[in-house]
Amino acid sequence: MTHAEDALPHDKIARMAARIDRPVVLVGLMGVGKSTVGRSLASLVKREFVDADDEIEKAAGRKISEIFADFGEDYFRDGERRVIARLLDSHKGVIATGGGAFVDPDTRTVILEKAIAVWIDCEIATLVERTSRRDTRPLLKQGDPREILTRLYTDREPFYRQAQVRIESRDGPHSETALSILEAIDAWL
């Protein structure tokens, strides 16, 4: 049993989950926990989880870092937009997106029309620590990660604010953040 299941009765979680009538799309900067929290949220609401970045890599037959290096960010964002639109049409569970997906106006529009967008927000210091654990972030290879994450946050925050729901990422168990998302969606609905 997870901490989230301890915090609320199963029937209340089930009632809240039943109210969700479209995909839940997690947005926010790299390192906020979209994939890990997304898996926990999907388990909590008994729905499928999909990571848009994984689906992009499957569709392209190559790693995102290779797409960035060989073709650039604009090319990547175009493919990302198409994959996310396909997922929204075929997937009714929880979808984690890449950090820049929601910044693209066409991608953001389709997410806001067809899904519940949840902005997972997080402090920069926490993001620096989390993203330093893996060397798979193409945008962070271009200089000092703290400066890059601070700039990305400043640039992207106005777009993330357009999500229907916003929650803070915490250092506690992912199940607690997932429960916070479920409660925030329930309040929004």
pLDDT over 50 at 5, yes or no: no
Residues 160-186, mean pLDDT to the nearest whole number: 92
For 41, how many CA atoms within 13 A lie in the half-sphere containing its CB?
Answer: 32
Give phi and psi for 51, each to the nearest 5. -100, 120
- Separation CA 108–CA 68 (nearest Å): 21
User: In total, how many domains does the chain have?
Assistant: 1
pTM for this prediction = 0.90
CATH number at 63 reads 3.40.50.300
Return left, alpha or beta for 61; rule: phi > 0 is left, psi -120 to 50 is alpha, else beta. Answer: left
**Mind listing the pLDDT tens digit for each residue in 105-127?**
999 999 999 999 999 999 998 88
What is the residue range of 184's domain? 3-188
